Amino acid sequence: MTQTERPDHGQRPATPTSGYEQDSTLPSHIGEPIVQVEGVEKYFGDNHVLRGVDLEVRQREAVMIIGRSGSGKTTLLRCINFLEEPTIGAIEVDGVRVQADPLHARGRRHREQIRQIRLRAGMLFQEFNLFPHMSVLANCIEAPTRVLGRSREHAAERADYYLEVVGLAEKRDEYPSRLSGGQKQRVAIARALCMEPKVLLFDEPTSALDPELIGEVLGVMEDLAHSGTTMIVVTHEMHFAQEAADRVVFMEDGVVIEQGPPEQVLNDPRAEETSHFLRRFLDR
């Protein structure tokens, strides 16, 4: 399978982040911070879902977020992409910083900032959300031509490249109804890559798949992680996190409890909450 090329960005020494003291020397492929979440809180009425989350993600870093249902993982991901407006705090993606401002969320400037964030942060969901009346190729070139103004020829060339990356070059002219669930999710990944975002956000992308199809999607994601794609993944696939993550973040009750390299968080957690979650998860 063809892997995406790793861009050559500058690097700098690690700095401590909330709940995670990074090693003094980062892996050589990890670069500058590209996503910064600062003091983010989110309320749904009286339900306090996120409680002052701080998180920094660097270029070419694969970060896996784990935790039980209701811990705030998906809400955090949706706040980074502004599918949910944070109640308090700030989000920055690739130099575009948006301060939470629910009272003025419909203002023109705020909407434009959010549009810029979404161009930089591609989102993959549990469902595939492919256009059923369009071929695989048409699904992949729709946004680059309409949103980015790319020519159809250029968009098709990039689509063919990314379909090769996900192992579906031969399916370019098929329609979604003729694809398996795993193939649909791989097309969704290719479609997101066609927008050439700075970071990909995955919200449990295998949870809607039959067990025999999960591996093919995780294999593509692991290839992307190892080739230097910046990724934030909400997942319950612990083996995948162990193999693909540069860092694992454990959340509980809307708070980042612990974060660090996968071998530390998953095999030798420091927080009792993490240990308790992993024991319960692995004993299921």
Task: Tell me the DSSP string of 230-243.
Answer: -EEEE---HHHHHH
**Beta strand ranges found along the chain (DSSP E):** 33-44, 47-58, 62-66, 88-93, 96-99, 121-124, 199-203, 231-234, 247-252, 255-260
Ordered structural domains, the chain, with CATH: 33-283 (3.40.50.300)
Nearest to 177 by CA among 126, 124, 131: 131
pLDDT tens, position by position, 165-179: 999 999 999 999 999
Q: What values do phi and psi take at 136, rounded to 5?
A: -55, -45
Pairing mode, if any, of strands 121-124 and 199-203?
parallel
Q: How far from chain centre, in Å, is Cα 166?
A: 16
Q: What is the pLDDT of residue 3?
A: 39
Query: Which residues have C-beta within 8 Å of that of residue 249, sequence separation ≥ 6?
Result: 20, 55, 63, 64, 65, 66, 256, 258, 259, 265
Alpha carbon 247 to its chain centroid, in Å, reads 13
- Of the chain, the percentage scoring pLDDT greater than 90 comes to 81
Q: How many residues does the chain have?
A: 284
Residues of the chain with pLDDT > 70, as a percent, come to 89
How does residue 104 score in pLDDT terms, banded at 50, 70 and 90?
Answer: low
pLDDT at 252 over 50: yes
Looking at residue 102, its pLDDT comes to 73
| pLDDT for the residue 208 | 87
| Higher-confidence position of 284 and 30 | 30
CA–CA distance from 171 to each of 139, 156, 192 (Å)?
Answer: 12, 14, 17
Report the mean per-residue pLDDT for the chain.
89
Residue 280's pLDDT is 80
Examine the pLDDT at 230 and tell me if it is beyond 60. Answer: yes
| Strand-pair partners of 53 | 40
**Is the pTM higher than 0.85?**
yes
